[in-house]
């Protein structure tokens, strides 16, 4: 989780307070992160420090092996994430993984003239089950090619809508016991795709090998 990681690096005492701050200030998650980036800026955390820290948040080796396998098989890989452009850019750069993905859909970001990182969500969708800044289901529908097969990897509550857009030929790789898995279980028949579970990055690699063998 890039959002909690950046707090662990520069303001670990704030991480346990995140949900309480959301409640007190009536923030959504992305508004919360924009607020916390202002706090880091006020504490003197620089653009260079943020960028370098995210480059150190490298993808685990089994996940990189998964990406290499998918690229070898000419799979089209895309990211749909409720993180933000800067965090994802530097995590991928630090992992030498930028070239794996053809498109990235996430919250826009901008460093202003004072070097404060501003997170700029888009509130244009009308989905009632997704967070106000992003509907992953809408994004998935807009980018899916006719007759394509989708393997969707996720773990969060915000991934559920995208999973409901998948069909019987698609596959969901859901992290066991995490919000996406729990929501799929509780929704009964809302997800038509085959659901496979994983716990660690190594599990993801093994699942991709078995699916694509």
Q: What are the pLDDT digits (tens) for 50-87?
A: 999 999 999 999 999 999 999 999 999 999 999 999 99
The per-residue pLDDT for range 79-108, each reduced to its tens digit, is 999 999 999 999 999 999 999 999 999 999
CA distance linking residue 163 with residue 173, whole number of Å: 10
- Tell me if 54 sits within 8 A of 91, measured CB to CB: yes
CA distance linking residue 28 with residue 141, whole number of Å: 24
The per-residue pLDDT for range 148-202, each reduced to its tens digit, is 999 999 999 999 999 999 999 999 999 999 999 999 999 877 899 999 999 999 9
**CA angle centred on 110, ends 108 and 111, rounded to 5°:** 155
Beta strands 171-175 and 151-154: pairing type? parallel
Q: Is the pTM of this model over 0.75?
A: yes
């Amino acid at each position: 989780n890039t959002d909690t990681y950046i707090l662990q690096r520069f303001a670990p005492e704030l991480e346990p307070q995140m949900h309480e701050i959301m409640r007190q200030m009536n923030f959504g998650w992305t508004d919360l992160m924009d607020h916390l980036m202002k706090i880091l800026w006020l504490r003197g955390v620089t653009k260079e420090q943020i960028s370098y820290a995210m480059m150190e948040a490298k993808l685990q080796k089994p996940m990189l092996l998964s990406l290499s396998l998918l690229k070898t098989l000419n799979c089209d890989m895309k990211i749909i994430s409720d993180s933000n452009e800067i965090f994802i850019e530097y995590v991928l750069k630090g992992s030498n993984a930028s070239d794996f993905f053809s498109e990235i859909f996430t919250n826009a970001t901008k460093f202003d003239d004072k070097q404060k990182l501003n997170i700029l969500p888009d509130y244009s969708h009308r989905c009632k089950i997704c967070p106000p800044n992003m509907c992953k289901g809408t994004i998935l529908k807009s980018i899916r090619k006719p007759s394509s097969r989708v393997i969707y990897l996720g773990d969060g509550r915000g991934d559920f809508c995208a999973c409901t857009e998948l069909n019987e030929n698609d596959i969901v790789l859901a992290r066991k016991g995490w919000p996406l898995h729990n929501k799929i279980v509780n929704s009964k028949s809302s997800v038509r795709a085959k659901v496979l579970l994983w716990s660690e990055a190594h599990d993801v690699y093994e699942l991709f090998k078995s699916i694509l063998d």
